[in-house]
Structure 1
Amino acid sequence: MDWFELKKTMMFPSSLSRRTRELLAFEKVLDGTLYDHIPYPFFKSCDADTTYIPINRRRPSIRSNLCSTVVDDSVSLLFSQSHWPAVVTKTKEGADDNDREHLLRNIISDLNLSSVMEQAAVMGSVGSVAILIQAVDSELVIEIKRTCFLEPTFSLFDVRKLLRVREQYIVDADGLLRAGFGDHPPGNYWFTRDFTENETIWYQPVRLDSPLRGEDGLMRDDVRSVSHGLGVVPIVWIKNLPGTDPGSPDGKCTFAAGIDTMIDADYLLSQTVRGLRYSADPTMVLSADEYQLPGMMPQQIPKDASHAISLPQGGEAKLLEINGTGAAASLNMWEALRALALEAMHGNRAHGDRVTAAQSGRAMELMCLGLTWLTGRLRRSYGEFGFVSVLNLICRISQVVPELNIGGKFHGPIEAGNISLVWPPWFEPTFGDMQTMANAVQAARSANAVSVDTAIRMMRPATHVQHVGEEKNKILDDIKAHDERLKALDGQVQDRDPTEV
């Protein structure tokens, strides 16, 4: 069974769009539930009426989850604690803005934006993700939203500028009651909400079978609708990877290229396990005429060593055993399929148990070259186009909403723009790497080939300096204090009486 056939067997409401069904199918692959809708377990070969069940109509007993593994590895290399980027801010004149940079670092910590961006990167691996940022009762609230139920509208002149985002999905009457919409007759309803540049518009629920569809059937809910007046849609829309259609609302799925191979590998491993279990308990065959069997022998005869089987003379008992060559060939095929799937998805194909000694950061980068290439592309999507946009939107909201509560603190209006990211190295440098780096920086400084700022930036992978300007001031203060101590010692020596020696 391939991915195309498996998608056709998934039960999605026909009222959903093709894009929504595609994203929902990718989500099932990501959370490992892509086989849950198949009713028959893998070891059940016949139905109740003894009808044979083909293998492609059974759930695999082994699920490798290679796709989610690649996503977890890439996101860990993107937004984990040791790979979190440093935020750098500049003034309009291009000078370092230390105060605003320090303020943004505090906001990132208070809002726990590292966890938000990490979760957004996992959810967005299916193609896209949306981050809703709004002020609710003067408190900043951040919500990650699945884009399968969102329809964005972009500007014709700027494909990155959102004009409107419509949220629409199916909910039952009980769900409406829990959400505070009151009692509705039993049935399914469309929940609809629009996020525009100046307001958030709520609509009254519409029955799924209503003849009025689209804009004609929507009635504005003035009680819940609010005006935010930001001038921009309060949503950061992040496309996962660059795709073939730049006008598409979704990027390329991280793991789409490896789904078919992963499905083949799951079925192959399941069949291998089935064969190994059969080898442990093979089928018994008795060769004897029926009239020669002593008494009415039961159809199920125990094959345990503690049970002896008595057959008439000339009878024979056999076990239908198989050799292990098929299992070995299946495992070799599984290794080939795994490598093929990881190569297609740019996953990590290196085996940690084969590394006999500590490797340098550069060696580890070369071993995981495909994964670093994938994460490098994700850095643009979720870093420059995602995380920076989130910070700019927070700053914009702080300018519009007075006394905005951000993570329990009031910071006042914050200037937006001129925000960039500095990413750490892919892998932590070893002591040998740091010594080589320090010697190179020292030689460059002694020859006056680089400035102090450049030297600090060169040593940043080893020292994890957050701000170059602050580190430079600390270095200059240390040099100044050292010179003052030397002057004080020189003065003590000159004031000393030579006859005391």
Structure 2
Amino acid sequence: MNQRRPSIRTHLCNVVVEDSVSLLFSASHWPSISIQGENNEENVEKEEKIRKICLDLNLPSLMEQAAVMGSIGSVAILVQAIDNELVLEIKRSCFLEPSFSLLDPRRLIRVREQYIVDADGLEKAGFGSFPDGNYWFTRDFTENETIWYEPVPVEGFGQKKICLQRDEERTVHHGLGVVPIVWIRNLPNMDPNAPDGKCTFSAGIDAMIDSDYLLSQTVRGLRYSSDPTMVLSVDEYQFPGGIASSLTKDASHAIALPQGSEAKLLEINGTGAAAALNMWQALRSLALEAMHGNRTHGDRVSAAQSGRAMELMCLGLTWLVGRLRRSYGDLGLVSVIKLICRITQKVPELQIGGKMYGPVVPENISLVWPAWFEPTFGDMQTIANAVQAAKSAGAVSLDTAVRMMKPATHVQHIAEELKKILDDNDFQETQQKNKS
């Protein structure tokens, strides 16, 4: 039975990955970009420009796809300018070989892209005609160049040392000073210098496979109980006309047996199926717990829960997404934005989504993540009462009060909101003076 493929696939690993990514880069969980200028003041103009660049590049969708692909361990994002147009491309790490600096393990020195293609694929890509067969496609991304190499036949590639020949026609000198690839490790691994991070769902694979086999066998048993086997306790010579190889088992076909004979159906009861389903629930819960997935059931919630209650119910999932925020947010998204800004400085006429933004200088870029779950009206009222009490007692400043209300009001810029509040207060004081 263990050599048969399960007929039912629960896809628990896929569920955990999609749930974690939905809390990471979905529409309501996309982080706001904060840029601190001089004197720790927000640079609203530059924040708005970078926000527009992210929307023009459809960066939320790209980062969401990168987080799904990188759940196996790592993923790479290639950022380059092609004909003065900024292009972002997600690269699978299985075809890439990164080289990091010995002095700074976070700094990429070179990334080699290498995989096998056929002659037809090379011709379609514009490399010209080649004899039939398979070839190695090789390309290097360095700090100053993107080096293309001539395709090399696969036959004999590993038997003798073959020198790669540069394709000078396609090689590009970008002069960025950094490799135009952002390498993202999924989760912290045992080896901090390893190119791949820890897989999101590796801890729950065994339990998921066992639950798939158990659930598949349970379904087979239910199908068997729907068509039980008939057993006749009678000698063949006593049966009129002999015993046929197959008998129809329904109400329209009666079977006449001699006196003293017996006919019965071999069927199973629901005890085994119920025990199997209980075991499957235990294996499912074990797999989700090992992967820090969401083990709550929506049908058990009878009323609307507050944001804090939902966070406690999904505590394991929020812990997992909190670790992913560091990998794909602070080390991934911020690095992509800084690389885009560096390219805009190198190519002043760069177009992003058909628009020209000019050179953008990155400085003190940070991400402000939203709350895990949207607050309810009860949560908003509780936060407002607490902030009002603290402000009236003089325990917090107006700036801190606005920051405390940010999860409920979705304020983008604290400085602009403070200015609006002060203007409203001045307007109300002026009206009161005019009335008096």
TM-score, normalising length: structure 1: 0.84
The DSSP-based 3-state class of the residue aligned with 2:162 is: helix
| Counterpart contact for 2:36–2:42, Cα < 8 Å | yes
Aligned mate of 1:121, from 60, 67, 77: 67
Alignment of 1:26-37 (within 5 A): none
Identify which range, 375-384 or 55-64, moves more after superposition: 55-64
Q: Which amino acid aligns with 2:171?
A: S
Aligned residue number for residue 72 of structure 1? 18
Alignment of 1:167-316 (within 5 A): 167-211=113-157, 216-295=162-241, 297-316=243-262
User: Residues 181-236 of structure 1: CA distance to partner in whole angstroms, max 9, x if unpaired?
Assistant: 22222222211111111111111222222246697342211121111111101111
Distance in 2, matches of 1:350 and 1:214, equals: 57
What's the CA shift for 1:111?
A: 1.2
Alignment of 1:339-354 (within 5 A): 339-354=285-300
What's the CA shift for 1:143?
A: 0.7
| Counterpart contact for 2:72–2:186, Cα < 8 Å | yes
The answer on 1:149 being equivalent to 2:103 is: no
Aligned residue number for residue 37 of structure 1? none
The answer on 1:360 being equivalent to 2:306 is: yes
Aligned mate of 1:480, from 426, 429, 432: 426
Cα 1:203–1:312, aligned 2, differ >3 Å: closer, same or farther? farther
The DSSP-based 3-state class of the residue aligned with 1:96 is: coil
Q: Which amino acid aligns with 1:421?
A: L
Q: What percentage of residue pairs aligned between the two structures are identical?
A: 71
Aligned mate of 1:133, from 72, 79, 82: 79
Cα 1:211–1:82, aligned 2, differ >3 Å: closer, same or farther? closer
Q: Which runs of 5+ in 2 are unaligned?
A: none
Q: Which runs of 5+ in 1 are unaligned?
A: 1-54, 491-501
Distance in 1, matches of 2:123 and 2:222, equals: 53
The answer on 1:451 being equivalent to 2:397 is: yes
Which fold has the larger relative contact order, with Cα–Cα distance below 8 Å and residues 6 or more apart in sequence?
Answer: 2
Structure 1 stretches of 4+ moved >6 Å: none
| Counterpart contact for 2:344–2:350, Cα < 8 Å | yes
Distance in 2, matches of 1:409 and 1:463, equals: 31
| Counterpart contact for 1:92–1:418, Cα < 8 Å | no
The DSSP-based 3-state class of the residue aligned with 2:263 is: strand
Distance in 1, matches of 2:382 and 2:39, equals: 36
Q: Which amino acid aligns with 1:208?
A: V
Aligned residue number for residue 105 of structure 2? 159
| Counterpart contact for 1:206–1:217, Cα < 8 Å | no
Distance in 1, matches of 2:217 and 2:300, equals: 28
| Counterpart contact for 2:135–2:151, Cα < 8 Å | yes
Q: Which amino acid aligns with 1:436?
A: T
Distance in 1, matches of 2:350 and 2:432, equals: 51
The answer on 1:102 being equivalent to 2:53 is: no
Q: Which amino acid aligns with 1:317?
A: A
Q: Which amino acid aligns with 2:183?
A: W
What's the CA shift for 1:457?
A: 0.7
Distance in 2, matches of 1:260 and 1:58, equals: 16
TM-score, normalising length: structure 2: 0.96
What's the CA shift for 1:458?
A: 0.4
| Counterpart contact for 2:236–2:243, Cα < 8 Å | no
Aligned mate of 1:385, from 331, 352, 361: 331
* RMSD, aligned CA: 1.6
| Counterpart contact for 2:236–2:242, Cα < 8 Å | no
